[in-house]
Structure 1
Amino acid sequence: MSDSNPSILSHVSLGTNHFEKAVAFYDQVLGTLGCKRVLDFPNAVAYGKQFPEFWVQAPIDGQRANVGNGTHFGFIASSKEAVHAFHQAALAAGATDDGAPGPRPQYGAPYYGCFVRDLDGHKIEASFWDESAGGAHGV
């Protein structure tokens, strides 16, 4: 079986209680990583580079969205500079810092990333794997 797609996920979705504000936030923040809106519905927006990979939406069941403890979503950055741009854009758009850009040796020598909490409190990350740093990939 041949598979030309290196991804392991089709997409992920985050619920929001502030749809318009969340969409404005992700428009700004994901743009730093080369992502754009690829689908737009009244209560859901999908982002990606080519196809819908990350959705922001009002919960389908009409209940309040809530944050999963221990859950976070990591986005791929193309460089250390992109990690910094993501972090700066997120903070400027109202996110809370949850880990400034930098190496995290516990994740492996190539890891360089940052963490923020979006407007609903979801933990999101941007990371760059710097192969020139050597070492094995961590988990």
Structure 2
Amino acid sequence: MTSEPPVIMAHVSVGTNDFPRARDFYKAVLETVGAKVIMEVDVPGEVSAIAFGKMFPEFWVQTPHDKQKAGVGNGTHFAFLATSKEMVQAFWDKALKMGATPDGAPGPRPHYGEAYYGCFLRDLEGNKIEAMYWGAHDQFET
């Protein structure tokens, strides 16, 4: 067993122009892939932020620190790991119910690999989000 974590990313952040709405959206949607609220930050006049993860804050939703309007990164998307095709479907269904826009229905994506199954949506700000199940990921189970 190694002492190094099996990941390279500590966290990512996405900006929002409507923090309460984005907070509610991500609380509902990320619950479908087993994520929970790890922490919230509210510094009046400075920043409002919420962090999601399973054990530590991996995905942040926040008002921009520079107080400018949040924008969408062209070519950027955030993928959340699902442990089943059913979990991908639940993510899709909940995101649509919460106001997301479809950008690729749940299904296999053989061009990404035979084991790949996912869905793509646009969140309330237009950021591209994904839930993906990697059928070969069972090797990571303990």
Whether these two folds match at TM > 0.5 is: yes
1:60-139 → structure 2 map (5 Å cutoff): 60-131=65-136
Residue aligning to 2:31 = 31
Aligned residue identity for 2:54: K
SS at match of 2:5: coil
Give the counterpart letter for 1:9 in structure 2: M
Tell me the TM-score normalized by structure 2.
Answer: 0.90
Amino acid at match of 2:103: D
| CA distance in structure 2 between the aligned counterparts of 1:8 and 1:121, rounded to whole angstroms | 26
In structure 2, list runs of 5 or more residues that go unmatched. 43-47, 138-142
Partner residue in 1 for 2:140: none
* Structure 1 outlier segments of 4+, above 3 Å: none
Cα distance, 1:28 vs. partner?
Answer: 0.2
SS in 2 for 1:81: helix
How many residues of Structure 1 are paired with residues of Structure 2 in the alignment? Answer: 131
Q: For 2:53 and 2:13, locate their aligned partners in 1 and report how far apart those are by CA, in whole Å.
A: 12
**CA positional deviation for 1:6:** 1.3
Q: Spell out, residue by residue over 1:24-70, the C-alpha distance to the aligned partner (whole angstroms, 9 max, x if none).
A: 00000000001000011120000000000000000000000000101
Q: TM-score, normalised by structure 1?
A: 0.92
Q: Which amino acid aligns with 2:36?
A: K
**What is the aligned partner in structure 1 of residue 64 from structure 2?**
59
| Structure 1: gaps spanning 5 or more residues | 133-139
Identity of aligned residues (%): 58
SS of equivalent residue, structure 2 residue 94: helix
1:25 match: secondary structure: helix
Q: Distance in 2 between matches of 1:97 and 1:122?
A: 12
Provide the alpha-carbon RMSD of the alignment: 1.1
